[in-house]
Amino acid sequence: MDLFAETIEQVAPPPNGCSLSPTFLPQQMQQKEEDGLTHEMFKQIQRPAEHESDPGLPQSTQPQEEEEEEEAAKKRREAYEEACRKYEEESKESTKCALRSVRAHSHPDIKYKPNRKFPDANSWTDSDEEIQVPTKHYWLDICLGVWGKEDDADIISQVKATTQLFNFFTNGSYDAKGDSGCAAILHDFPHRPIVARSKVFSEGQCVSPFILQLEGVALGVKLAMQYDPFPFYLYCPSESVSYFVDQNWRRRDKCRCSGIWETVESRCKACSERLMFHGDHKDHEVAFELTEGIFSDISELKRRGLPWFSMRDWEKNEAAYHVASLLQDNDYKLKEIGGLKELWDIIYTEAFGIFFE
């Protein structure tokens, strides 16, 4: 027997004639052990999750702990949401308080009386002792004292002599029968109403919401032509109408049909239609003609000295909506506006509502 043989197979069989069991190389034996261990681990990994358990705890305590964790997580979420809600409310109240203070100092019809309890002039405190808002009846007397003239010539003269901004609020309205109307109200900067005008469309005349709001804008510009308020903001509740008027005015002498902006002598219908929102294109023919009249009036106002005007969308035109819903062709002076109780309540709330919230 060669005791220095390199492999087991090279060792001669024993002299008694018995044979060796199947032989393995050392590397093969090691591989089999590793394969067996890997197989056992694989079986453990494939066990269903419900059979897994923490060897340090009894199986029966785990569902209870999971419920407790879920309950704790729920409470944390609720606490976080409550903290966010409180922060939002505090932010809103702080903003309201600051806005009230700014309006109280800037509005000529509100008296500001410093509270002796808070001598700090920079304090944002807000109480009834500091801000004295006029009552509805008293404010009507104030407005009549400023804009209560009956003669148009006197009103026009006073408007021209006023060095402040003016605001036009427009809106349209439908009734249950399908009749429609629009209105415009002229306010001075402290929101005192001056005059109003309404227009009704004949029974059965089909007017789309877009055209109805555009008619309201045209009515506001007609009032501007009559009373010459320089300069002014024009507020319409429709975003699509406001955008259409504003962008068409800015590009009234521009055309981009060739791919680049070019200066033209007259408005391009195709470029005008591209400035309409989706769904409004069916009204373009009528809208184009209406804006031709609006822009002609504004051009005339500019020749008279109008430095600028601004078209904006504003949803809360409730007073103009109320006048439009009367469905009348009418002009209103301030005395008539104040005589309509519901209308005056709306205007008063628009001017001072923030102080009563």
* Cα(274)–Cα(259) distance, integer angstroms: 13
pLDDT at 248 over 50: yes
Contact 62, 54 (CB under 8 A): yes
Q: Which residues pair with 311 in a beta bridge?
A: 234
Name the DSSP letter for residue 49: G
- Based on the domain organization, do 209 and 290 belong to the same domain? yes
pLDDT at 29 over 60: no
Residue 8: band (very low, low, confident or very high) from pLDDT cuts 50, 70, 90 = very low
- Based on the domain organization, do 158 and 242 belong to the same domain? yes
- Based on the domain organization, do 158 and 214 belong to the same domain? yes
Q: 123: which 2 tokens?
A: 């304090």
- Residue 114: the pLDDT is 62
* Cα(200)–Cα(203) distance, integer angstroms: 9
Q: 301: which 2 tokens?
A: 């106002």
pLDDT at 91 over 80: no
pLDDT at 32 over 90: no
Residue type, 53: S
**Higher-confidence residue: 171 or 45?**
171
- 0.75 surpassed by pTM: no
- Based on the domain organization, do 117 and 263 belong to the same domain? no
CA-based nearest residue to 111, from 137, 95, 130? 130
Mean pLDDT of 213-221: 97
Is 52 domain-assigned? no
- Based on the domain organization, do 222 and 343 belong to the same domain? yes
Is 38 domain-assigned? no
Main-chain phi, psi angles of 122, to 5 degrees = -90, 5
- Based on the domain organization, do 173 and 297 belong to the same domain? yes
- Based on the domain organization, do 168 and 99 belong to the same domain? no
- Based on the domain organization, do 246 and 314 belong to the same domain? yes
Residue 163: band (very low, low, confident or very high) from pLDDT cuts 50, 70, 90 = confident
- Based on the domain organization, do 127 and 187 belong to the same domain? no
Is 143 domain-assigned? no
Residue 85: band (very low, low, confident or very high) from pLDDT cuts 50, 70, 90 = confident
* Cα(276)–Cα(244) distance, integer angstroms: 6
Name the DSSP letter for residue 204: T
**Higher-confidence residue: 74 or 297?**
297
What total of structural domains would you count in the chain? 2
Mean residue pLDDT across the chain: 80
pLDDT at 305 over 90: yes
CB proximity list for 340: less than 8 A, separation 6 or greater: none
Q: Which domain holds residue 216?
A: 149-356
269-302, pLDDT tens digit by residue?
A: 999 999 999 899 999 999 999 999 999 999 999 9
* Cα(137)–Cα(146) distance, integer angstroms: 15
Place of tokens 């002599």: 161
- What CATH number is associated with residue 300? 3.30.420.10
Is 307 domain-assigned? yes
Is 275 domain-assigned? yes
